Chains A and B, each alone.
Chain A
Amino acid sequence: MAQDRPTASELLAAIADFLREEAMPALDKTEPRLGFQMRVAVNSLAILEREARLGPAADAGEQARLAKLLGHEGTLENLNRELARQLRAGARDEGDAALMAHLDATIADKIAIANPKWK
């Protein structure tokens, strides 16, 4: 059965907002070292919030593209293992347009979760 609202993403956002707006400024005044750690924690919570919201679709898209690229179904982990083996062996390289389109899409989805400001 589905959980009630707030969703995982909404709850994580609420926690991150509280820590950023109330806990962090208080810590910066009294315990700067902990203030820095709190900044790391808030940043990690923001990653989790985005992952809760965007992660399932990103994983499904990656898995579907991998199955098409490799020509068979499999778990995300196993398909990635197979692709990684092919890339180490040099069986595919950056000249493969379908490969590059897949990696571009996968990494775009990953960075949108881990650090959307990265450029």
Chain B
Amino acid sequence: MIVHTPTEAENVAAVLARVAGRHFGGTATVDRLYRESGGASRQTWSFDAIVDGARHELILRRDPPTLGTPRAKAETDRSVSIDRATEFRVLRAAFQAGVRAPEVLFELTLDDDLGEGFVMRRIGGTAIARKLLRDPPYDSARKKIAHQLGDILARLHAVPAAGLPPLLRREAADHIAGQRRALDLLDRPQPVFELALSWLDRRKPAPTTQPVLVHGDYRTGNYLADKTGVTAILDWESAHLGDPIEDLGWLCVKSWRFGAVDKPAGGFGSREELWSAYESAGGLKVDPARAHWWEVFGTVRWGIICHNQAWRHLSGALKSMELASIGRRAVETEVDLLQLLKSDV
């Protein structure tokens, strides 16, 4: 955990006042600034900018400059994730295409000396799965979320390529190779993940003829929802071009049901409900075998992410009991994989 010294918050506040004034045209004061928990290497700050009596509710997404060294970048193992400048452009294209995503406003510049980052409008709602799945204010939202996630995802996959920044194209075979490389780097034998990756390799879908914008981390925990349901899709840093069904499979990985195991669509509904909403909103007709493939792949991916999170602690890159403990969650995906490989679709 990084300690938030008052100096850091004061520094961020001073820069935000300056950049907000520049963007909105006036003298800005910053109010209610605080750093949201989570995301040690990628910070999220919530704040209000008051310019000429108008209050703008905003979010700063930022990579602190100290993390910009090649060594730190390698250690956080984010070779597949996009930088903040690319995220800004993906979000802008998605918002302009009508996807329920935060509206990005402006980027930080080098002279602002806060590292790479951008400011977007703050949207109401919570991302905390436990609350969404169990707390009374979300009773009626719970019935809608699976449908909404299918609907929003179809629009996300339809974002015109022309508006997007250059993104890596990653198909099934690239993903398999990437996970095998990750296992080799961890250097501990993992028979269940190896079995699952070979299973996936033998059945992998052909590369897409028309790759689309894939969110890459479309799951419960990564969107905001209020009592009306989903308000915004967050966490776009895994965006790439590829197979749209990847996002549908990832959303159904059992770990993202947060205990609501009988509701595969992120803990809120059936796969069929999700797919039907997706198809109604213009998405591809979903082939169940292809969706199953991506769900199995997603389960492997989350298991290996668990090991990588623990490795960030074990390698000394970021000392954290919380990260260390995630290593022991990988076996949950091994249980799920052994079940999935036995279920024929």
User: Chain A interface (Cβ within 8 Å of chain B)?
Assistant: 33, 37, 40-41, 43-44, 47, 77, 80-81, 83-84, 87-88, 90, 93-94, 99-100, 103-104, 106-107, 110-111, 114-115, 118-119
Contacts and interface: CB of A to CB of B under 8 A. Distances in A.
3 smallest beta-carbon distances between A and B, as pairs: A87-B194, A84-B189, A80-B189
Interface in B303-345: 321-322, 324-325, 328-329, 331-332, 334-335, 338, 341-342
Interface in B138-161: none
17 contacts: A40-B322, A44-B321, A84-B190, A84-B194, A88-B198, A90-B198, A90-B202, A93-B195, A94-B342, A103-B195, A103-B338, A106-B191, A107-B334, A107-B335, A110-B331, A114-B328, A114-B329
Q: How large is the interface on B (under 10, 10 to 19, 20 to 34, 35 or more residues)?
A: 20 to 34
Contacts of A40: 321-322, 325
B300 interface: no
A102 to B, nearest CB: 9
Nearest to A79: B189
Interface in B175-212: 180, 189-192, 194-195, 197-199, 201-202
Contacts, number: 72
Contacts of B199: 93-94
A36 B194 CA distance: 34
B202 to A, nearest CB: 8
Contacts of B325: 40, 43-44
B37 interface: yes
Interface in B254-281: 261
Given A94-B195, A114-B331, 4 more contacts: A83-B189, A88-B194, A93-B199, A115-B329
Contacts of A107: 192, 331, 334-335, 338
Contacts of A47: 328
A115 B191 contact: no
B191 A84 contact: yes
Contacts of A111: 331-332, 334-335
Interface of B: 37, 180, 189-192, 194-195, 197-199, 201-202, 261, 321-322, 324-325, 328-329, 331-332, 334-335, 338, 341-342
Nearest to B184: A88
A75 to B, nearest CB: 11
A47 B202 CA distance: 36
Contacts of B261: 119
Contacts of A93: 195, 198-199, 202
A44 B328 CA distance: 9
Contacts of A118: 332, 335
Listed residue (B198, B201, B334, B342) with the most chain A CB atoms within 10 angstroms of its CB: B198
Contact of A103 (B192, B321, B328): B192
Contacts of A114: 328-329, 331-332
A119 B198 CA distance: 24
Contacts of B201: 90
B182 to A, nearest CB: 13
Nearest to A94: B341
A2 B322 CA distance: 33
Nearest to B261: A119
Contacts of B192: 103, 107
A80 B191 contact: yes
Given A87-B191, A88-B198, A107-B335, A33 B328 contact: no
Given A94-B342, A110-B334, A111-B335, A37 B198 contact: no
Contacts of B189: 77, 80-81, 83-84
A27 to B, nearest CB: 14
B201 to A, nearest CB: 8
A12 to B, nearest CB: 15
Listed residue (B190, B195, B198, B341) with the most chain A CB atoms within 10 angstroms of its CB: B195
Contacts of A43: 325
B321 A37 contact: yes
Contact of A87 (B195, B329, B334, B335): B195
Contacts of B202: 90, 93
